[in-house]
């Protein structure tokens, strides 16, 4: 355990205490609650523009939260490192080249590298022929302008992926360890019928904002008969609830939100208002995809993160009449077997 003087770490960590900025990054890579809260800090649209390897999940797994000083980027509450993230390759390489030049000029005077800037790549040794340059390999990506988006993405990854770990201070424990993906797994309680009921209670007030059933893309049609507790609900609400969404009112509008991946979906985007006279607009209205609206890593839809099936599949099983479920299971040992196999393979893959 590190002792970082600037971060007063509570000796008995997390759980009941109120979420402080510090505790979000206190070193508990096994703690789901902290991971989810770190994820919730990533609000800038920037994160959706970055390739998957640089999405907020990858930063949050390494203890980073979104910085709040107006610059786009991340900070670590534990080692107090912060980093600006420039997602435009050409701007980034200009910034790097500029930084190199200023490093060049102060090279003779001072020689202690660990600034708070986008440093991290200073791998200790100061080779006299090569000053501390980021990625000082022979193949220097910073000399190149990207010819297209694909290349720009590749270069961005080359720059930032190593910084997810090396951007932390030398002594920061997040530098060498990250939260396992399966920590994000939904607890069994979230996949139960009572939990579905509580999501439905938040969804009922936004029923009027939901698009028609034909405008909603669902993962699987509802079973023919539902548990009695669900029968009074509009089937669209049940579908939305099974898919992990809660509802909320935003002024006089309705939104769906996921408390795991923090996606918020404005329902007005999927509904053409009946009083508006625009037939043309109506054609453009997309359908509301209950799966695709979650972030790709969300355990509600990602069976690998959830270890086995996606979250919604577990809830679906919970609302399926017992008879069907049993019949399916009895007649389908192969499927069960392959599911276990998938799980085993997956665990092997994740716990490298
Ligand atoms: Zn750190
Ligand atoms: Zn989600």
The pLDDT tens digits for 94-137 are: 999 998 888 888 765 665 554 444 444 444 333 333 334 454 55
Å from CA of 138 to ligand 1 middle: 29
pLDDT at 331: 46
Cα 308 from chain centroid?
19
Ligand number nearest CA of 167 is 1
Average pLDDT in the chain? 80
The pLDDT tens digits for 159-202 are: 999 999 999 999 999 999 999 999 999 999 999 999 999 999 99
pLDDT at 29: 93
Look up residue 219 and give its two tokens: 């993962």
* Residues ≥6 apart with Cβ < 8 Å to 220: 316
- Report domain extents, the chain: 32-183, 188-319
Question: Quick check: 237 pLDDT over 90?
Answer: yes
Å from CA of 295 to ligand 2 middle: 6
pLDDT at 289: 96
Question: Quick check: 303 pLDDT over 90?
Answer: yes
pTM check: above 0.85: no
The pLDDT tens digits for 37-68 are: 999 999 998 888 888 899 999 999 999 999 99
DSSP state of 222: P
Is 139 buried (19+), middle (13-18) or exposed (0-12) by CB count in 10 A? exposed
Span 232-242, average pLDDT: 97
pLDDT at 186: 97
Confidence tier at 341 by pLDDT (50, 70, 90): low
Question: Which chain residues have CB less than 5 Å from ligand 2, an ion?
Answer: 258, 260-261, 294, 298, 300
| Percent of the chain predicted with pLDDT > 90 | 57
Q: Which residues pair with 257 in a beta bridge?
A: 246, 264
Å from CA of 54 to ligand 2 middle: 18
């Amino acid at each position: 355990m590190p002792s970082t003087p600037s971060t007063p770490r509570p000796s008995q960590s997390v759980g009941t205490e109120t979420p402080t900025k510090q505790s979000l990054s206190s070193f508990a890579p096994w703690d789901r609650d902290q991971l989810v809260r770190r994820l919730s800090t990533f609000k800038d649209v920037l994160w959706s523009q970055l390739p998957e390897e640089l999405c907020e999940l990858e930063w949050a797994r390494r203890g980073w939260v979104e910085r709040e000083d107006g610059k786009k980027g991340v900070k670590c509450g534990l080692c107090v490192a912060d980093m600006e993230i420039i997602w435009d390759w050409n701007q980034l390489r200009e910034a790097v080249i500029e930084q190199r030049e200023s490093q060049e000029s102060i090279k003779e005077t001072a020689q202690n590298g660990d600034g708070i800037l986008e440093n991290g790549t200073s791998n200790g040794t100061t080779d006299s022929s090569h000053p501390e340059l980021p990625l000082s390999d022979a193949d220097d990506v910073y000399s190149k302008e990207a010819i297209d988006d694909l290349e720009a993405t590749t270069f961005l990854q080359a720059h930032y992926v190593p910084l997810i770990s090396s951007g932390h201070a030398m002594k920061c424990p997040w530098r060498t360890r990250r939260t396992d993906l399966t920590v994000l797994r939904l607890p069994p309680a979230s996949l139960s019928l009572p939990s579905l009921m509580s999501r439905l209670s938040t969804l009922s007030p936004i029923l009027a904002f939901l698009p028609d059933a034909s405008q909603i893309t669902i993962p699987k049609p509802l079973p023919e008969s539902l548990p009695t507790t669900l029968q009074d609900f509009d089937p669209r609400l049940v579908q939305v609830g099974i898919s992990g969404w809660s509802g909320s009112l935003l002024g006089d509008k309705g939104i769906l939100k996921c408390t795991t991946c923090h996606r918020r979906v404005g329902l007005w985007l999927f509904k053409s208002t009946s009083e508006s006279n625009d037939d043309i607009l109506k054609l453009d209205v997309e359908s509301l995809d209950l799966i695709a609206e979650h972030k790709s890593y969300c355990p509600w839809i990602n069976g690998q993160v959830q270890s086995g099936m996606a979250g919604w599949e577990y809830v679906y099983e919970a609302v399926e009449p017992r008879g069907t479920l049993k019949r399916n299971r009895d007649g389908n040992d192969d499927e069960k077997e392959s599911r276990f196999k998938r799980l085993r393979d997956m665990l092997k893959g994740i716990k490298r």
